[in-house]
């Protein structure tokens, strides 16, 4: 099933926002998030799942809501345990633009 596209400033599980490297493709007025984009806590590179080899922007797979991410810089820092910093996946996304999925979903 297709999922909604994650974008610049969309939220992460840890409360950070995504910082994109894309500056030429927008969805709903915000730049599209692509594999390797970090977050405002530092680090937290996103990893594409469904779109790898399918939907690309600037030759990188597009990130969808709930795609996983590497740890950000607050992972393991005292006082930040249990706040999603060790797996800051993409939480919010476009309200109406989807990608990935089966049968062109």
Q: Which domains does the chain have, with CATH numbers?
A: 1-77 (2.60.200.60)
CA separation for the pair 48, 36 (Å, rounded):
8
Write a three-state SS string for 12-35: ECCCCEEECCCCCCEECCEEECEC
Tell me the pTM: 0.92
Longest C-alpha distance within the chain, in Å?
Answer: 46
Phi, psi angles (nearest 5°) of residue 19? -110, 115
Q: What is the pLDDT of residues 56-98, one digit of tens each?
A: 999 999 999 999 999 999 999 999 988 999 999 999 999 999 9
- pLDDT greater than 60 at residue 102: no
Q: Are 42 and 16 in contact (CB under 8 A)?
A: no
| CA 7 to chain CA mean position, Å | 7
Contact 30, 3 (CB under 8 A): no
């Amino acid at each position: 099933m297709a999922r909604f596209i994650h974008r610049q400033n969309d939220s992460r599980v840890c409360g950070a926002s995504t910082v994109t490297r894309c500056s030429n493709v927008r969805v709903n007025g915000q730049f599209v998030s692509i594999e390797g984009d970090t977050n405002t806590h530092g680090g937290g590179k996103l990893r594409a799942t469904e779109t790898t080899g399918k939907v690309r922007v600037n030759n990188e797979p597009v990130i969808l809501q709930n795609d996983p991410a590497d740890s950000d810089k607050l992972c393991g820092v005292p006082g930040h345990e249990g706040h999603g910093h060790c797996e800051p996946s993409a939480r919010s996304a476009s309200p109406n633009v989807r990608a990935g999925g089966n049968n062109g979903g």
